[in-house]
Amino acid sequence: MNTIQIQSPYVIFLGDIEDKTLAKTGAGLAKWCQDDVLGQLRLPGCKVDLGLADISLDEAVANGAKSLVIGVATVGGSIHADWLPVFAKALDKGLDIVNGLHTDLATIPMLMAAQEHSAGRIINVRHVGRTLPIATGRKRTGLRLLTVGTDCAVGKKYTALELTRALNAKGIDATFRASGQTGIMIAGEGLPIDSIVSDFVSGASELLSPDNSAEHWDIIEGQGSLFNPSFSAVSMGLLHGSQPDAFILCHDIARERISTCPDYPIPDLQACIQLHLDCARIVNPQVRCVGVSVNTSSLDPGKRRDYLTRLQAELELPCVDPLIDGCEAFVTLIAKQFHQSETGKAHAES
């Protein structure tokens, strides 16, 4: 797996973006790495606010910043030209630039020149830099759960992180496995699945969750959605390579259309669960869905619980908002279905 070490403290760069969904990298770091974050750097016209202190480069350096982390995940991973002078200045001041976008900053002349005379480094998180195998389909030891979604940016990473923490708190050994740039920044290791040549996506996913002890869980961060035509190829390769024993479906109640393809509606949740079961059974016939993670932040608090209660009755699965309710309901079902039986032996309940 790729390993990275972000020098902290760091500043999250938001540029001039107007859509908060593009700031998922910055938002993830602000939540999960609070102690490492000094503030946010926004350019004129930026309409996104992560609730952090606004800080300039000069103020960041004066306060001991070591890195400038690009907190933006643009569609296609492109870099805006008006961001480059900021990055060059950051390098001149000795800061590392941590880049989670597809564009290789180290090939841009302005930044190449700045890096030549600076102690600052360009760290391209999304570049694999190694030879990867094709998938074997071999059943690996240990247990695996993959977070999947009705669309992109619906809570797959947050759910995986919260679930990993909840499982460990209950004494069930679990490791978060990062498959995207933000997750890798948070965990310090992982593989950027969407940057891998398509023939090797499933093979890379197998490397992401290798053999482990029988009752250990790898909680694998999902990518994209089988229902999003823009990114479904990544989602399918990750699903097959992960070979999950279980999955949690992630959904945003506010989302009505597929984010990058507005001609397509968000799928029915039951149909979404069934398609994932059908596709995952190709590599693991015993796979099951163990719950639905719902982002309910757009709902009136008084209506949130009623919605989740109705959904749970309809799907006959735990349905919670992990950032509000926690993941205990998922953990309870996982323990019941996969761990100690009446005889004390680990099993997967049929």
Quick: pLDDT tens for 212-252.
999 999 999 999 999 999 999 999 999 999 999 999 999 99
Predicted local distance difference test score (pLDDT) of residue 75: 77
Better pLDDT: 126 or 69 = 69
Q: Is the peptide bond before 9 cis (omega within 30 degrees of 0)?
A: yes
Tens-digit pLDDT profile for residues 163-221 = 999 999 999 999 999 999 999 999 999 999 999 999 999 999 999 999 999 999 999 99
Confidence of residue 295 (pLDDT cuts 50, 70, 90): very high
pLDDT of residue 5: 87
pLDDT (tens digit per residue) in 153-164: 999 999 999 999
In this predicted structure, the answer to whether residue 343 has a pLDDT above a threshold of 50 is no
Residue 341, pLDDT score: 52
Instruction: Calculate ∠ Cα 55-156-243, nearest 5°.
Output: 140
Which residues share a beta bridge with 145? Answer: 219, 246
Is residue 41 within 8 A of residue 47, CB to CB? The reply is no
| CA quadruple 79, 80, 81, 82: dihedral, nearest 10 | -130
3-class secondary structure per residue, 251-312: EECCCCEECCEEEEECCCHHHHHHHHHHHHCCCCCCCEEEEEEEECCCCCHHHHHHHHHHHH
Residue 21: the pLDDT is: 84
The span from the CA of 101 to the CA of 196, in Å, is 13
Query: In this structure, are residues 324 and 334 in contact, taking their beta carbons and an 8 Å threshold?
Result: no
At residue 86, the 3 state secondary structure works out as: helix
Give the model confidence (pLDDT) of 265-280 as tens digits: 999 999 999 999 999 9
DSSP state of 327: S
Q: Each residue of 18-61: pLDDT tens digit?
A: 988 889 999 999 999 999 999 999 999 999 999 999 999 999 99
pLDDT at 285 over 60: yes
Mean pLDDT over 139-157 rounds to 97
220 to each of 27, 86, 143, 230, how far by Cα in Å? 19, 34, 11, 21
Asked if the model's pLDDT at residue 317 lies above 80, the reply is: yes
Q: What is the DSSP letter of 340?
A: B
Task: Kindly report, residue by residue over 87-108, the tens digit of the pLDDT.
Answer: 999 999 999 999 999 999 999 9
pLDDT in the model for residue 181:
93
- Distance between CA atoms of residues 104 and 114, nearest Å: 15
Regarding pTM above 0.85, the answer is yes
pLDDT interval class at 129 (50, 70, 90) = confident
The token pair at 133 is: 């195998």
Biggest distance spanned by C-alpha atoms of the chain: 66
Q: Which residue would you say has higher pLDDT here, 177 or 347?
A: 177
Give pLDDT, residue 345: 44
Tens of pLDDT, residues 70-90:
999 887 777 889 999 999 999
Q: Computed from CA positions of residues 197, 99, 24, 169, in that sequence, does the dihedral angle turn out positive or negative?
A: positive
Residue 347 pLDDT > 50: no
Q: What is the pLDDT of residue 346?
A: 45
